[in-house]
Amino acid sequence: MDGREGRQKREGEGHSEPVQVYCPKCGHTEIVYIPREEIPLCPRHKKRMLVKEILTEGKYY
């Protein structure tokens, strides 16, 4: 035993993904990083926004 077994990262730990979220009522969009940030509330309607797209490298615009 070399002591490394207990230190392995769980899958997804420490890694955040950029996600585009939107308000279904007004169409307001934002980009947040999951799981580092919570999915925000729409500033106009105060309702939780929905995930529109998981952004991947080379697709930022």
Q: Show me where the domains of the chain are located.
A: 15-54
At residue 47 the predicted structure's pLDDT band, cuts being 50, 70 and 90, is: very high
- Give me the sign of the Cα torsion angle 45, 25, 47, 21: negative
More confident residue, 58 or 26: 26
Q: Which residues contact 42 (CB under 8 A, 6 or more apart)?
A: 23, 25, 26, 28, 48, 49
Average pLDDT over residues 34-53: 94
Does the pLDDT at position 49 exceed 90? yes
**What's the pLDDT at 37?**
87
